[in-house]
Structure 1
Amino acid sequence: MVPQAEVTLDEFEVMDAAAPESLYVELIDGRLLITPTPDGDHGECLRSVADQVRARHFALHLYQARGLAVPARRAGRARVDGAVAPVGYFRGQPSWSDPSGVLLVAEVTSGREQDAEVDRVDKRDAYAQAGLPIYLLVDRHRGEVVVHWDPEGGRYRHKSEAVFGAKLALPEPFDFDLDTTELA
């Protein structure tokens, strides 16, 4: 991930349109972030979370690599690894969708340790500022899963974590223990 100097939304849209499919381009708190597309292990982590959500909540789906308009202190655009929303929520939405119906955003740290801080701090803060109810982070470098919830005043008020292999209680509306065994 290459953090860049502050850019405007118009500048971002030009860069996003010109980016090859092998790169994700995001605008988080005024900074342009460029990352390579995820590896296979990344996708398997999301599949495990998606399967567990769907098994308990048939009306919800985890949409992968969804673009969300994330208004934090500045206009932002995040390509979230996973967005849990009601089935059909994104039908008819633009590339950078309204996040108001998203119940949970999930991120999985990339294969490079130096990129993980963006998921741990920058994206966490942007999602809280945007009022996204739950942020789930699968941190492959630390071997843990962290859930943040109940945003208020631009910060999540609650946090819980579990090492890979343990269960992690997800808050309402999910209200089940996420099995993290397959995330290791």
Structure 2
Amino acid sequence: MSPIANPHELLRFLEELPELNELRVELIDGKIVLQASATPFHQLIVSDLACRFDRDHWEALPGQAVVSPDSSFEPKPDLVVTTRDAVTDNPHPLPCGSAALVAEVIADDREVDRIKKLAWYGGSGIPLYLIVDPHDGSCQLHSQPYSAGYRTRTTTEFGRPIELPKPFDFALDTTKFKLYPPRRPVR
């Protein structure tokens, strides 16, 4: 076996290990991050989002890794929305320029989704970043990317539609989204 030259090669190696099949493996801020599989409420929201983007010429790709010239990140958003035409040669990870929107459903680590990934997705030029937070029942749509994140944020509550700008130009229904139940004390 040859030595691993960079963190992206290490990610490819880890993705092939059967022992890690149930884990989400990402490169965040230069560090390999392993996360347990998501909860049912989390997955239901991702599934619902994917169904809502399954219209016209849009394609919803759950858990698709994305990459940009910034080699310290290779996240796997809960959902990447793109078109078939934007995915030309089956790249893995998918270049950020092919994504029209990425969505993250917050699990435990709000800092990664709300700060680190927000800055990286915007700085990588992804037009829209949707954060769904089942802890507080809110959705944030970030738009107008620039080098340090996004210039615009629109916040809505679960149950209210999220107006998506062009190129989507439709309202995203959030009535099926559920809050996480209160955590039980650990004994």
Pick aligned residue for 1:64 from 62, 65, 83: 62
**Alignment RMSD (CA, Å):** 2.1
Larger Rg: 2
Deviation beyond 6 Å, 4+ runs, structure 1: none
Q: 2:104–2:113: 8 Å Cα contact kept in structure 1?
A: yes
Q: 1:174 to 1:33 in 2, by over 3 A?
A: same
Q: 1:70–1:126: 8 Å Cα contact kept in structure 2?
A: no
Secondary structure of 2:111's aligned partner: helix
Pick aligned residue for 1:170 from 157, 160, 164: 164
Pick aligned residue for 1:109 from 102, 106, 125: 106
Post-superposition offset of 1:116: 2.4
Secondary structure of 1:128's aligned partner: helix
The answer to whether 1:95 aligns with 2:89 is no
- Partner in structure 1 of residue 117 of structure 2: 123
Could you report, residue by residue, the CA deviation over 1:99-120 in whole angstroms, capped at 9, with x for unpaired residues? 212100011112xx3x222111
Post-superposition offset of 1:12: 4.3
AA of the residue aligned to 1:59: H
Post-superposition offset of 1:151: 0.6
- Work out the CA distance in 2 between the residues paired with 1:118 and 1:105: 14
- Work out the CA distance in 1 between the residues paired with 2:167 and 2:156: 19
- Give the strand-richer structure, 1 or 2: 1
- Work out the CA distance in 2 between the residues paired with 1:12 and 1:52: 30
Q: 2:143–2:151: 8 Å Cα contact kept in structure 1?
A: yes
Output the TM-score relative to the length of structure 2: 0.81
Where do 5+ consecutive residues of structure 2 fail to align?
Answer: 1-5, 179-187
